[in-house]
Structure 1
Amino acid sequence: MKHIPVLYNEVLRYFAPQPGQKFIDATAGGGGHIRGFLDAGAFVLGLDRDPEAIANLKQFLSAFIEPGRLTLAIANFSNLSETAASLKFDSVQGVLFDLGLSSEQLDTPERGFAFQKDGPLDMRFSQKDELTAASLLQSLSEAELVKTFVDYGEERRFGRKIARAVVKRRAEKPIVRTAELFELIKLALPGPLRYRAGDAARRIFQSLRIAVNKELDHLRAGLPQALEVLAPGGKLAVISFHSLEDRIVKTFFSAQARQCVCPPAFPICQCGGNNARLKILTKKPVTASPEETQKNPRSHSAKLRVAEKIK
């Protein structure tokens, strides 16, 4: 399946790229948003942890690489500042984080991201990383599994039962396939609810993917670095796909848009009240239109937040 960029028109409307401007796509993925920047005449630095994604983009967008319009790097956005500096790519007009999986990642069973088709329980963005979903299921204690399922998958209702089922099954043999895990999740649910096993599986698979790739930690590290590489007036845009990511983005934007940073206990402002570094442009997150969700069902949970750098 060809990758379909989410909220494509909305992203380009906020960035409004012009010829000669510089943009960073911190999650290059399938290259859909990058192509929009390039078609507008901008220069782009595309980063991705997934070597396969970068290799595919080098073929897909080869016409832009030789003239120097596009630079691609296998890199984690938690190292955004260092990567941008090493490639002399700073004072940019925009930085984009699209935190969703690409269609290619989801639709390749060998990557192990989805439960709809059987494959190895891998879930690594980079094959250089050692930790896989299978090894995580094998090594975590029951309490740690519960915490992972609840904290990262928000599976509060059945997280404990599923964790207990994992521990029981792995005592007999390791759980190494996506189909095995899906069947285990299904059987852990009460009989009348097993027809909705897909909902629970989606949350459990999400929790394992986040844990394997340390996604939330990297997001917390990457957002401040994005702010540093932006030129004044530049925009930071983040597309998130679940409440855990969106909460981190919302908290970061709110903190950086605050003029007064005095402790709440101070009755009178003593910091000068001129500390805001961001102006929030989206009071509420932008979501996909009914037309987009019909064409691309994966866009239904996407939320776009955008802010402009003041200083």
Structure 2
Amino acid sequence: MDVSGRRGPTGDATDHAGHTPAMLSRIVELLSPALTEPGAVHVDATIGMGGHAAAILAANPRAHLIGIDRDADALAIARQTLARYASRVELVQARFDELGQVLEDLGVDHPNSLLADLGLSSLQIDQRDRGFAYSVDSPLDMRMDARLPRTAADVLNSASRAELVGILKRYGEEAHAERIVRSIIAERERQPFTTSARLVEVISAALPAAVRHGGGHPAKRTFQALRIAVNGELDALSGLLPIALDRLALHGRIAVLAYHSLEDRMVKQAFAAATRDAAPPRLPVVPENLQAQFTALTRGAEKPDPEEVAGNPRAASARLRALQRIRPRQEHR
């Protein structure tokens, strides 16, 4: 982990000043009741360019922020975005499943609120040299943290047929994974993959015409799958959720924004378990130590309203779930 946050080559806050974070007002509304006391701590586990964090700090002048991101370029921009709140801000370069270590290093036992805005940030999409976007030709990198050992090109060029099929099916839910991988294997034997445009061409050619022209970009699922595999995103999320729930203070609140079904399913299952009693079925009286520790603040997954989607199309797939801790943490459940 790095608490400095270097300035990246494109780390200019003015480049992204018009960016509006997804479901901003709703998130501020949900989390602010936990941040009214002096010294209350809010954790933004995916701080990105700092948009959500700035709104939380503005609405809660006595709150302090711990901002985490694995992307050094994002941290550099967040530092500029949050400059006016510098005395209340700690920024840390880390993967969000390192939350426990981050809190320990900063001497924080139980944060009062936490936000995790999952998936790809606008910064990463817009930086063409990162290789996240399938609409422009760029190097096939896709690393959220440049310190990671493998790029998307490395995965494409070295993984076995079975591994690639597994990646596309598991992380992209791609129904035509076998066809796409067969074409990828044939093409990489001719010449290794280095850029996104060639991969898009190979994917499009491998798909049936009805799928290719049936709505949605034909490469979307494959690019999603590669990105998740390169960055270990689902593994990180499965590590974050139990730590975040366990460490949250009494009456603290947690909100998670997910953007595809794989993420949202994991959040839904973790939150459902947290809001259930741990007692055996049909027990007449549930002992206090077995009662649910959390209550839901959202009814299922909330979606952005049509007005927000019209102004910010990238928010269209956002799904927001939030909980509040209502009982102290139990050592033995």
Q: TM-score, normalised by structure 1?
A: 0.93
* One-letter amino acid matched to 2:145: S
Q: Is residue 2:79 matched to residue 1:58? A: yes
Q: Is residue 2:97 matched to residue 1:108? A: no
Residues 25 and 97 of structure 1 are in contact (CA less than 8 Å); yes or no, is this contact kept in structure 2? yes
Return the alpha-carbon distance in structure 2 between the equivalents of residues 253 and 105 of structure 1: 28
Q: Residues 141-180 of structure 1 correspond to what in structure 2 (within 5 A)?
A: 141-156=160-175, 158-180=176-198
Aligned with residue 235 of structure 2, among 207, 217, 223: 217
Q: Is residue 2:92 matched to residue 1:73? A: yes
Equivalent residue number for residue 44 of structure 1 = 65
Equivalent residue number for residue 316 of structure 2 = 300
Aligned with residue 34 of structure 1, among 46, 53, 56: 53
Residues 8 and 33 of structure 1 are in contact (CA less than 8 Å); yes or no, is this contact kept in structure 2? yes
Count of residues paired in the alignment? 305
Return the alpha-carbon distance in structure 1 between the equivalents of residues 218 and 279 of structure 2: 41
Return the alpha-carbon distance in structure 2 between the equivalents of residues 149 and 11 of structure 1: 32
1:268 Cα deviation from its structure 2 partner:
5.3
Q: For the structure 1 residues 302 and 4, does the alpha-carbon distance in structure 2 shift closer, same or farther, using more than 3 Å as the test? A: same
Aligned with residue 288 of structure 1, among 304, 328, 333: 304
Q: Deviations over 1:153-190 (max 9, x none)?
A: 0111x111001111110111111111111111111112
Residues 236 and 307 of structure 1 are in contact (CA less than 8 Å); yes or no, is this contact kept in structure 2? yes
Equivalent residue number for residue 110 of structure 2 = 91
Q: For the structure 1 residues 38 and 19, does the alpha-carbon distance in structure 2 shift closer, same or farther, using more than 3 Å as the test? A: farther
Return the alpha-carbon distance in structure 2 between the equivalents of residues 209 and 4 of structure 1: 23
Q: Deviations over 1:91-150 (max 9, x none)?
A: 222000000322111011101111111111111010001111110111211121111111
Residues 45 and 89 of structure 1 are in contact (CA less than 8 Å); yes or no, is this contact kept in structure 2? no
Residues 278 and 308 of structure 1 are in contact (CA less than 8 Å); yes or no, is this contact kept in structure 2? yes
1:19 Cα deviation from its structure 2 partner:
6.3
Equivalent residue number for residue 131 of structure 1 = 150
1:194 Cα deviation from its structure 2 partner:
2.9
Unaligned runs of 5+ in 2: 1-14, 329-333
1:195 Cα deviation from its structure 2 partner:
3.2
Residues 236 and 306 of structure 1 are in contact (CA less than 8 Å); yes or no, is this contact kept in structure 2? yes
* One-letter amino acid matched to 2:213: Y
Return the alpha-carbon distance in structure 1 between the equivalents of residues 315 and 80 of structure 2: 26
Return the alpha-carbon distance in structure 2 between the equivalents of residues 291 and 58 of structure 1: 30
Return the alpha-carbon distance in structure 2 between the equivalents of residues 240 and 199 of structure 1: 20
Return the alpha-carbon distance in structure 2 between the equivalents of residues 283 and 306 of structure 1: 9
Residues 142 and 152 of structure 2 are in contact (CA less than 8 Å); yes or no, is this contact kept in structure 1? yes
Residues 146 and 159 of structure 1 are in contact (CA less than 8 Å); yes or no, is this contact kept in structure 2? yes
Q: Which secondary structure state, in structure 2, belongs to the residue aligned with residue 85 of structure 1?
A: helix
Return the alpha-carbon distance in structure 1 between the equivalents of residues 245 and 99 of structure 2: 10
Unaligned runs of 5+ in 1: none
Q: For the structure 1 residues 43 and 179, does the alpha-carbon distance in structure 2 shift closer, same or farther, using more than 3 Å as the test? A: same
CA RMSD of aligned residues (A): 1.9
Residues 237 and 305 of structure 1 are in contact (CA less than 8 Å); yes or no, is this contact kept in structure 2? yes
Equivalent residue number for residue 273 of structure 2 = 255
1:197 Cα deviation from its structure 2 partner:
7.8
Residues 260 and 272 of structure 1 are in contact (CA less than 8 Å); yes or no, is this contact kept in structure 2? no
Q: For the structure 1 residues 197 and 127, does the alpha-carbon distance in structure 2 shift closer, same or farther, using more than 3 Å as the test? A: farther
Equivalent residue number for residue 293 of structure 2 = 277
Q: Which secondary structure state, in structure 1, belongs to the residue aligned with residue 112 of structure 2?
A: strand
Q: For the structure 1 residues 159 and 197, does the alpha-carbon distance in structure 2 shift closer, same or farther, using more than 3 Å as the test? A: farther
Return the alpha-carbon distance in structure 2 between the equivalents of residues 29 and 253 of structure 1: 24
Q: Which secondary structure state, in structure 2, belongs to the residue aligned with residue 231 of structure 1?
A: coil
Q: Which secondary structure state, in structure 1, belongs to the residue aligned with residue 224 of structure 2?
A: helix
Residues 81 and 228 of structure 1 are in contact (CA less than 8 Å); yes or no, is this contact kept in structure 2? no
Residues 185 and 197 of structure 1 are in contact (CA less than 8 Å); yes or no, is this contact kept in structure 2? no
Residues 212 and 218 of structure 2 are in contact (CA less than 8 Å); yes or no, is this contact kept in structure 1? no
Q: Deviations over 1:240-288 (max 9, x none)?
A: 00010001001101111111354x7xx7589847242211222221100
Return the alpha-carbon distance in structure 2 between the equivalents of residues 268 and 73 of structure 1: 45
Task: Using the aligned pairs only, state the percent identity.
Answer: 40
Return the alpha-carbon distance in structure 2 between the equivalents of residues 23 and 154 of structure 1: 34
Residues 276 and 291 of structure 2 are in contact (CA less than 8 Å); yes or no, is this contact kept in structure 1? yes
